[in-house]
């Protein structure tokens, strides 16, 4: 059975309370349930994680090398700044789907740059919480 790490970065623990006009009313716990349901449907195992710490996220990406077959990554604001996360992804050589709730290309200029996209298999953004099951389905296809 294939296994996927779904890793959420800074401030995503506040989903549901944080700028609901941008990110919606869905909490991260709701999203985890959506992901579990999709994983059951596709016969996948998932690990769902969140950290506000760039180093902790890098450690989880490194550990994924031995534990998972691919990663879905919503790196939050680190998407736009972190060469270190980009290098971590290159180092583990696992397929990664970059994910965002909001359409980062329709927002401020600084959100148009993504270091993650440079090493990702693909990018899903702008579909809110529904993007998570979409990303699971896309990664599952890629792992066939
Ligand atoms: C985000 C988009 C990022 O630009 C922002 O910093 C976030 C959330 C999203 O899911 O839309 O924290 O990754």
pTM of the model: 0.97
- pLDDT score at 15: 97
- pLDDT score at 105: 98
Per residue in 50-61, pLDDT (tens digit) is 999 999 999 999
HSE-up of residue 1 (Cα within 13 Å, Cβ side): 9
Per residue in 56-88, pLDDT (tens digit) is 999 999 999 999 999 999 999 999 999 999 999
| Tokens 């990702």 -> residue | 120
User: What is the whole-number distance in angstroms between the Cα of residue 56 and the centre of ligand 1?
Assistant: 18
Whose Cα sits closest to atom 13 in ligand 1? 76
Whose Cα sits closest to atom 1 in ligand 1? 76
100 is catalytic: yes
Query: In ligand 1, which atom is closest to the CA atom of 80?
Result: 4
Query: Residue 43: which residues within 8 A CB-CB, separation 6 or more?
Result: 1
Compute the distance between CA of residue 6 and CA of residue 35 in angstroms, rounded to an integer: 9
* Exposed / middle / buried, residue 67 (Cβ in 10 Å: 0-12, 13-18, 19+): exposed
- pLDDT score at 26: 95
- pLDDT score at 41: 98
**Burial letters 127-140, b for 16+ CB under 10 A, else e:** bbbebbbebbebbb
pLDDT under 50 in the chain at which residues?
none
Q: Which of 131, 57, 47, 54 is nearest to 97 (CA)?
A: 131
Pocket test for ligand 1, best of 28, 74, 103, 123 (most atoms within 8 A of CB): 74
Is any atom of ligand 1 closer than 6 Å to the C-beta of 101? yes
């Amino acid at each position: 059975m294939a296994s996927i790490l779904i890793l959420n970065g800074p401030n995503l623990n506040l989903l549901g309370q944080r700028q609901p006009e941008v990110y919606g009313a869905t909490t991260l716990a709701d999203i985890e349930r959506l992901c579990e349901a999709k994983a059951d449907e596709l016969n996948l195992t998932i690990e769902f994680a969140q950290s506000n710490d760039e180093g902790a996220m890098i450690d989880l990406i490194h550990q994924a090398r031995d534990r998972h077959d691919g990663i879905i990554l919503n790196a939050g604001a680190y998407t736009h700044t972190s060469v270190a996360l980009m290098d971590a992804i290159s180092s583990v050589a696992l397929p990664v789907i970059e994910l965002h709730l909001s359409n980062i290309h329709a927002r401020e200029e600084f959100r148009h740059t993504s270091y993650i996209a440079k090493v990702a298999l693909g990018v899903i953004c702008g579909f809110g919480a529904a993007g998570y099951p979409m990303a699971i389905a896309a990664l599952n296809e890629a792992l066939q």
